[in-house]
Chain A
Amino acid sequence: DVQLLESGGVLEQPGGSLRLSCEASGFTFSSFAMNWVRQAPGKGLEWVAVISASGDRAFYADSLRGRFTISRDNSQNTVFLQMYSLGVEDTATYYCGRGNIAGVPAAPYYWGQGTLVIVSA
């Protein structure tokens, strides 16, 4: 079975940085693109970024480009989301989502359970 396990969510101060991880199992990780999607409390879904299977291409939501960086380590079956200059508006549950193809763009097909990031002083 496809399993995605996010981690790294914590309470962080405004202006801080954070790196989220998503460890995958149950499939050949290096064959699929990976996404990050977030959801603020009580709000809808917001797509964050996607990275190709090989890691050579990535796309970002316009509003987040420059502050967030998606990367992956295929030897560790893990995709990362590095976040900088965090603001209260970044408070959300962050989900990783596996695409169903190698290239990008690839919509989230399978989802992890999410990790909660709270940005507060």
Chain B
Amino acid sequence: QSVLTQPPSVSGAPGQRVTISCSGSSSNIGRNFVYWYQQFPGAAPKLVVNQNNQRPSGVPDRFSGSKTGTSASLAISGLRAEDEAVYYCAAWDSNLNGLFVFGTGTSVTVL
């Protein structure tokens, strides 16, 4: 059971903007950076947002991260078919001796 809660699925038409929420607590999102990972079926995860809102090299600027209090969000604008994947948020939890926790994962479907 994860301490970071995400909606199981979100969907949108090509070109639309979708947002994935990630709800945590004061011991994780509330005081530490949030990371977002993208995973295609049968593939390894890939970091798409680093430290709340930084995009690693090569990640399109359609992906943006934000954080407010104990919640975080990943927005994908100009949705494309190739964005269809599962997205996980993650953060360190200061209450758990350095434990790194992942969210429950959100499946993004492009209609």
Contact = CB atoms under 8 A, between A and B. Distances in A.
Contact of A45 (B50, B98, B105): B105
Given A109-B50, A112-B44, A44 B100 contact: no
A115 B43 CA distance: 11
Interface residues of A, number: 22
Given A44-B105, A45-B37, A45-B105, A111 B46 contact: yes
Contacts, number: 60
A71 interface: no
A113 B101 CA distance: 20
Contacts of B63: none
Contact of A113 (B44, B50, B96): B44
B98 A59 contact: yes
Given A45-B102, A45-B105, A107 B92 contact: yes
A94 to B, nearest CB: 11
Interface of B: 2, 33, 35, 37, 39, 43-47, 50, 56, 88, 90, 92, 96-105
Interface of A: 35, 37, 44-47, 50, 59, 61-62, 95, 100, 104-105, 107-114
Pick the 7 closest A-B CB pairs, nearest first: A59-B98, A47-B100, A111-B44, A45-B102, A44-B105, A107-B35, A105-B92
27 contacts: A35-B100, A44-B2, A44-B105, A45-B90, A45-B105, A46-B102, A47-B99, A50-B100, A59-B97, A59-B98, A59-B99, A59-B100, A62-B97, A62-B99, A95-B45, A100-B50, A104-B98, A105-B92, A107-B50, A107-B92, A107-B100, A108-B47, A109-B50, A111-B46, A113-B43, A113-B44, A114-B44
